[in-house]
């Protein structure tokens, strides 16, 4: 999928459901291409690299919004043999380095040859508010701390002479899919959503890590989902730091009814114990 918005031509590579339906964005300008987030599995990463190559322009940079493998796993394949900067906030860079080996140990046996053998790390660490200009497009980092993941950020892109930002929001709001909740920072996530609802009110479009381009209303929808999910976990856990199998089945039923058409429903139970532990400790 491609779209032109406020002076930017943006192509999207969306993975299959096996690849978590994650979006990688290709920002095409006159002199090159910038990639925001890089996909999970080798087959999807290869397709992303092929899309970059098909544009026939040099890769100018890669941005990683947060420290989850479906967003950073493809960096190595993208930059292999190219002198290309990889941008992330300082916190995102630190967490990727901290978790990459553990994630490979956890998920490598599940995905087999589809899991990349090498992790490439960010090469340029950004502070909150730092701008990067690539072929006339200014990308501004917004460091938001732990929320959906252990380290989240948003990148605001603005073309020359444009009056509005295009916001790459990573996984701070899932659009039309069940979200990942297993990192256990739900309270902070809710606060970040409130912050972004104000900060992104005038953005031209929000481009989420999962789901179609959308507007600022996706932040309120994500907030409502999380509030429902957390209330159900609290009820079913009854003060305990984990849920029984039967309670997880009940949680799954409730959240499927809440979002009956949403894919990635296996994430409902995946995050239950982490949310129960967070609530029990609060």
Q: What does the pLDDT read at residue 6? A: 67
Cα-Cα end-to-end distance for the chain: 43
Instruction: Measure the CA–CA gap between 85 and 194, rounded to whole angstroms.
Output: 32
Question: Alpha-carbon dihedral of residues 66, 275, 23, 129, nearest 10 degrees?
Answer: -30
Q: Any bridge partners for residue 14, and if so which?
A: 23
pTM listed for this prediction: 0.97
- Mean pLDDT across the chain, nearest whole number? 97
Residue-wise pLDDT for 228-266, tens only, equals 999 999 999 999 999 999 999 999 999 999 999 999 999
CB 66 within 8 A of CB 153: yes
Neighbours of 212 (CB within 10 A): 13
The string over 145-173, giving b where at least 16 C-beta atoms fall within 10 Å of a residue's C-beta and e elsewhere, is bbbbbbbbbbbbbbbeebeebbbbbbbbb
Please give the structure tokens belonging to residue 202.
Answer: 């005038």
Contact 60, 27 (CB under 8 A): no
Summarize the confidence of residues 266-272 as an average pLDDT: 98
What whole-number percentage of the chain has pLDDT above 70? Answer: 98
pLDDT band at 161 (very low <50, low <70, confident <90, very high): confident
**Which SS3 state, helix, strand or coil, does residue 22 take?**
strand
Q: Give residues with Cβ within 8 angstroms of 206, minimum separation 6.
A: 167, 169, 173, 200, 213, 214, 215, 216, 218, 219
By C-alpha distance, which of 145, 174, 143, 173 is closest to 156? Answer: 143
Token pair of 182 as six digits: 């297993």
For the segment 205-233, what is each residue's pLDDT rounded down to a tens digit? Answer: 999 999 999 999 999 999 999 999 999 99
Write down the residue that tokens 């907030």 correspond to.
223
190-202: average pLDDT: 98
Task: Identify whether the C-beta of residue 193 lies closer than 8 Å to the C-beta of residue 222.
Answer: yes
Residue ranges in the chain assigned as alpha helix (H): 42-54, 69-72, 75-79, 90-111, 186-199, 217-237, 245-258, 267-270, 272-281
């Amino acid at each position: 999928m491609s779209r032109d918005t406020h002076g930017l031509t943006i192509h999207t590579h969306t993975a299959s459901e096996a690849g978590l339906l994650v979006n990688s964005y290709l920002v095409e300008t006159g002199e090159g291409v910038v990639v925001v987030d890089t996909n999970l599995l080798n087959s999807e990463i290869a397709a992303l690299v092929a899309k970059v190559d098909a544009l026939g322009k040099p890769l100018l940079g890669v941005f990683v919004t947060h420290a989850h493998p479906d967003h950073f796993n493809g960096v190595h394949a993208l930059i292999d043999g190219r002198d290309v900067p990889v941008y992330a906030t300082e916190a995102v860079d630190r967490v990727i380095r901290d978790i990459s080996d553990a994630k490979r140990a956890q998920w490598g046996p599940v995905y087999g040859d589809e899991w990349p053998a090498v992790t490439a790390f960010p090469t340029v660490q950004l502070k909150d508010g730092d701008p990067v200009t690539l072929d006339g497009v200014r990308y501004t980092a917004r460091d938001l701390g732990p929320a959906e993941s252990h380290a989240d950020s948003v990148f605001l892109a603005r073309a020359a002479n444009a009056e509005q930002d295009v916001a790459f929001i990573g996984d701070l709001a899932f659009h039309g899919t069940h979200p990942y909740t297993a990192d256990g920072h739900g309270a902070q996530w809710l606060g970040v959503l409130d912050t972004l609802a104000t900060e992104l009110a005038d953005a031209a479009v929000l481009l989420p890590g999962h789901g179609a381009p959308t507007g600022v209303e996706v932040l309120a929808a994500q907030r409502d989902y999380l509030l429902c999910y957390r209330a159900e976990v609290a009820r079913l856990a009854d003060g305990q730091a984990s849920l029984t199998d039967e309670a997880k089945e009940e949680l799954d039923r409730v959240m499927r009814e809440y979002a009956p058409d949403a894919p990635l429903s296996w994430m409902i139970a995946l995050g239950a114990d982490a949310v129960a532990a967070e609530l029990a400790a609060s």
